[in-house]
Every structure is written in structure tokens, then in C-alpha cells.
């Protein structure tokens, strides 16, 4: 009942106070996205938001393969990044991932499925609770989110589900090491006809003593057979563990 009441109150707030607050507090969107107020209301409501040139999304101007768009996010020069949230404004499922770089650089590379041309944003939350935003427009022919995964049409993945490939590279500037991972998983969005959502929703990296290095929550738009690059601060073997929304779990140790 309490939850229901809160929902009603929230709804009223949106209708009465929402637009006024948005006009007063939301900075203008440099990407001029038609969905900016929706995005701001959904993910940053009541929280301070600034656009910050140090927070970057690197992606091709145009998506050659809408099922597999490469993206790198970074917040170099921004201290104390607690969380990085990546959203694509005009995707049917906007939230792509959220990343906590506990003992890692505030940077991550991944690939995602795009449905149509859209802004791709990263929001980096610093310790003071401020969301620092950066982003780019991505042009796309689209259809990536509503296309069945290759895996859904090929029974081979069932025997290789959650198979992990990976390797560590020392960073060029000796600041730590890069971990690259590939996990076999269909990452079905649930938007293709007759194929339910089925995706990896969490990956945790730890060192050999069990100290957590980074935590990643992935959502439906992350590309099939996710390929990820993490920039970790320390050195040594990394324990990878993760799981999907149906309770399948995986674990692998990557040694230098």
C-alpha cells in the first residue's frame, strides 16, 4: 500500500511540480535530444546534473552494424567517480549499463544494439552526488533491438552459454592493467517476437584476495556475446564472476 501511495504521489509530482522543476534546474541539452526531459526525469530526478567535457563517449558517427555498435566511455580527470550510467535516449530500452569502477579507471568499452539514430550518453556520478554528463549522436539504420539474436536461432550457444574468453594486458603507462573479456550469451532483449528477454545482468571483478575491483550491471541493449574492456588500477590475476536473469552463473580466473 505504501508503495502504491508513493507511486500516486510521484505521479502527481510529475504533473504538478515536474515541468516547473525541469525548467528551473535542468541544464539545456547540448545534444538537443527530443527525449532529454524524459531521460532526466527517469534517471536524474531531483539530483544535480552538469554537462562536463571530461566525460566522453567515443563511438563511430554511424553504426555499421546496428547489432554491435562499439562504444568507449571515459571520465578522465574526474576524481572519485562512483558510478557510470550509459543510456541511449531513443532506444526502446534506454539503459545499457551501469558501472562502478571501484578499483578501476573510470573507463569502459562495450558494444550495444541500437534501434534507430539516437544520442548515446554517459553520466558519471561523483562522490558529491553530482551527475557529470557527456555524449554523442549516433546515426543508425537501426533494428538492432528488435532483431532476434543469432544465438536464439542456433542451438550451439546452449552448450557454450557463459563460456568466457579473456586476457590481461599491462597498461602502456604502467598505471595498471587492461582486462578484455568475451562471454557467450544471446543477450535477448525480449523485443523480438516470441523470444523472451534473456541477458547477463551482472559481472563482478575481484582480485585473488577477494577484494572487489569493479562491478558492472548490464541490461538488454548490450550486444550479443558481450565484449568488454576494463582498465584496472592494480596488477595480478582477476577473478570474473557473473550471472544472467535466469540464474545461470559463470566464473573464470584470468591470469597475467
Binding site for another protein (CB under 8 A): 58-62, 64-65, 68, 70-72, 109, 111, 141, 163-167, 169, 178, 180-182, 227, 229, 239, 241, 243, 249-254
Q: How far is the CB of 141 from another protein (least distance, A)?
A: 6
As a whole number of angstroms, the distance between CA 255 and CA 77 comes to 29
Torsion angles phi and psi, residue 111, rounded to 5? -130, 150
Q: Which cell numbers in the block locate residue 41?
A: 526525469
As a whole number of angstroms, the distance between CA 248 and CA 200 comes to 9
Q: How far is the CB of 206 from another protein (least distance, A)?
A: 9
Our CB check for another protein shows the closer of 109 and 130 to be 109
As a whole number of angstroms, the distance between CA 3 and CA 116 comes to 35
Q: How far is the CB of 165 from another protein (least distance, A)?
A: 4
As a whole number of angstroms, the distance between CA 254 and CA 256 comes to 7
As a whole number of angstroms, the distance between CA 236 and CA 215 comes to 18
Our CB check for another protein shows the closer of 217 and 241 to be 241
Our CB check for another protein shows the closer of 93 and 161 to be 161
Our CB check for another protein shows the closer of 78 and 171 to be 171
Q: How far is the CB of 27 from another protein (least distance, A)?
A: 26
Place of cell 539514430: 117
Amino acid at each position: 500500500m505504501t508503495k502504491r501511495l508513493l507511486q500516486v504521489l510521484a505521479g502527481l509530482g510529475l504533473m504538478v511540480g515536474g515541468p516547473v522543476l525541469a525548467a528551473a534546474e535542468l541544464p539545456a541539452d547540448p545534444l538537443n535530444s527530443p527525449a532529454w526531459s524524459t531521460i532526466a526525469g527517469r534517471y536524474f530526478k531531483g539530483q544535480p546534473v552538469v554537462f562536463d567535457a571530461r566525460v566522453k563517449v567515443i563511438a563511430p558517427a554511424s553504426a555499421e552494424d546496428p547489432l554491435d555498435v562499439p562504444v568507449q566511455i571515459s571520465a578522465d580527470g574526474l576524481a572519485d567517480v562512483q558510478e557510470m550510467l550509459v543510456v541511449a535516449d531513443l532506444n526502446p530500452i534506454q539503459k545499457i549499463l551501469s558501472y562502478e569502477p571501484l578499483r578501476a579507471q573510470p573507463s569502459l568499452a562495450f558494444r550495444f544494439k541500437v534501434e534507430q539514430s539516437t544520442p548515446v550518453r554517459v553520466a558519471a556520478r561523483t562522490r558529491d552526488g553530482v551527475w557529470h554528463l557527456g555524449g554523442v549522436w549516433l546515426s543508425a539504420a537501426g533494428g538492432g533491438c528488435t532483431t532476434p539474436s543469432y544465438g536464439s536461432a542456433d542451438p550451439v550457444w546452449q552448450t557454450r552459454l557463459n563460456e568466457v574468453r579473456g586476457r590481461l594486458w599491462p597498461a602502456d603507462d604502467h598505471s595498471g592493467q587492461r582486462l578484455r573479456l568475451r562471454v557467450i550469451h544471446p543477450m535477448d532483449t525480449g523485443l523480438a517476437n516470441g523470444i523472451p528477454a534473456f541477458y547477463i545482468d551482472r559481472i563482478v571483478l575481484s582480485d585473488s584476495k577477494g577484494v572487489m575491483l569493479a562491478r558492472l550491471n548490464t541490461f538488454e541493449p548490450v550486444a550479443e556475446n558481450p565484449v568488454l574492456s576494463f582498465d584496472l588500477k592494480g596488477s595480478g590475476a582477476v577473478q570474473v564472476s557473473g550471472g544472467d536473469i535466469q540464474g545461470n552463473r559463470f566464473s573464470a580466473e584470468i591470469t597475467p
